[in-house]
Amino acid sequence: MTVAIAPAANSNSPASEVMILGIPKEIYPGERRVAATPSSAQKLQKLGFQVRVETGAGLAASFPDEAYRAVGCEIVDSPVALWAESTVVLKVRAPQHHPEVNQDEVDLLRPGGTLISFIWPAQNSELLERLAQKQATVIAMDSVPRITRAQKMDALSSMANLAGYRAVIEAAQHFGRIFTGQITAAGKMPPCKVLVIGAGVAGLAAIGTARGLGAVVRAFDTRPAVKEQVQSMGAEFLELVFEEDGSGEGGYAKVMSPAFIAAEMALFAQQATEVDIIITTALIPGKTAPRLVTEEMVNAMKPGSVIVDMAAEQGGNCELTRPGEVYDHNGVKIVGLTDLASRMANQASQLYGNNLVHLLSDLGGADNYTLDMEDTVVRQSTVVLAGEVTWPAPPLERPVPPQAVAPETQMAQDASQTKKTGVIQQLLWPVLIGAALVGVGLVAPESFISHFTVFVLAIFLGWKVIWDVTPALHTPLMSVTNAISGIIIIGGMLQVSGPLTSTVTILGAIAIFVSTLNISGGFFVTQRMLNMFRK
């Protein structure tokens, strides 16, 4: 099914032949973001759209009206006129009551118009019905599927990335110490310990930021697939010994079994007594945030600790979170801010504006603007289509794994043949080396055999000395020193076979002692140096 969108109806205006994008000022309390920046507005114009911006729409994000005028946007003073004349309205927050004109933004939207913004359809079924009564078409940016092809339009990930970064900055503001450990003349400062619950986009951003500030970071997630991502960022991944997998649809975690939840709660209780900062990001769209941090856990935390609850807008992961507030509970700061991305309004607006540009480009631009409901991304994100509520969309089809072409007998034969080939390859080189040594022994003079034996033993001992060194100690200087010392030890061992009073025997013994001291002392000193930098 393909739906074409008609241009704005305004026969008295020369712009009647073009599609008009309206950028209203956000009216949600404290919201600083704007749906289009001067940069993204310029890109939208290249797609054939005429862009109209409400007066002061970008001011809170440091985008004055003059910046929009400079790139060819029209500034509109009246929000009523902006909504009524726009073919497509681009917003950040879902429509709500407009205090200045004493009307709901749904009523301001022209009949048959299109709205693109965050909608949260699972929590706003009544809003969907009201938009359907306006015969509107609504694309929810929070419903864009998290698939590879749609990453450039994934506004949820864009905002979560910034929110995760900002969560650590807010934690640092309320934390009474620095994050990194230091050893100074005035004393030793231990590093801050941070626990991140939930390793999605926001969680990984928080991990990276905390690690960048020098903290020791631990992370937990119900999805085993994120373990390598967490470890690659230098954090410790906390695991539970369970066969249960928490991977749900759309890249989100799913609700776990009671036994798993009990085990993870015990883990969080133990971690609460050790860490200084807890950042929670656990949230499943359309559902109340799970309670992961209880009052008992908060009371067990050290005075001066901080909890940043990124799920505060949906009730919070912490039992004591107050959405929109920051307060002190028995010496523990609980941060329940719901506008973390908005606190970085300039960059957040740029990312969100680019997400919208990519979406409108994929919809064909102004000249070929169509909603192809056979397209997975369009179908998943379109929650109202020409007055009909289309949410929830059908689940994404999972690819069927290909069946094995060869029968079981053929697979067994292939495996057996592969095993035989591997055994032959493993035995080939030892046999060839042994044959070469036998040939050398048969034809070479006795003096050569003596020197060759010393050479082989020196190589073996030097290799063992270097190979058994901890990888953290590997340096070119250490490798060369150990190799030389190993050769000296072998030479000394060959010389101590004479009389004990012989000068050669005494020098050989001294050489063995000094070389052994050099190897062991080098290991000891280097190990102490490494321990100084371990947190």
Catalytically active residues, by annotation = 146, 151, 154, 157, 252
Which helix (H) or strand (E) segment holds residue 75: the answer is strand 74-76
Q: What share of the chain is helix, strand, coil (3-state, %, to 5)?
A: 50, 15, 35
Q: Which residue has the tokens 């029968």?
A: 407
Pick from 70, 76, 58, 59: nearest CA to 8 = 76
Pairing of strands 137-140, 182-184: unpaired
Cα separations in angstroms, 283 against 21, 122, 145, 261, 454? 32, 13, 16, 15, 67
Cα distance between residue 179 and residue 219, in whole Å:
16
Q: Across-strand partners of 140?
A: 117
Residue closest to 384 by CA, chosen among 374, 373, 369? 373
- 268: Cα within 13 Å, side-chain hemisphere: 28
For 90, the token pair is: 């681009």
Dist. CA 334–CA 203, nearest whole Å: 18
Structure tokens at 422: 């591997």
CB 332 within 8 A of CB 298: yes
Q: How far is CA 186 from the centre of its chain?
A: 37
Q: What CA–CA distance (Å, rounded) separates 352 from 61?
A: 12
Output phi, psi for 301, to 5 deg: -75, 155
DSSP for 322-379, written as a single string? -TT-EEEETTEEEE--S-TTGGGHHHHHHHHHHHHHHHHHHTTTTTT-EEETTSHHHH
Could you give the C-alpha distances from 395 to 67, 145, 148, 468, in angstroms and in order? 42, 10, 16, 53
E-state strands within 101-197: 103-104, 114-117, 137-140, 182-184, 187-189, 193-197
C-alpha distances in Å from residue 25, one per residue of 77, 175, 358, 391:
10, 35, 22, 27
CA distances from 466 to 187, 518, 523, 525 (A): 37, 13, 11, 16
Longest dimension (CA), the chain: 118
Cα separation, 152 vs 158, whole angstroms: 9
CA distances from 127 to 133, 279, 409 (A): 10, 32, 60
Residues constituting the chain: 535
* Separation CA 54–CA 93 (nearest Å): 15
Of 506, 528, 525, 515, residue with least CA distance to 487: 515
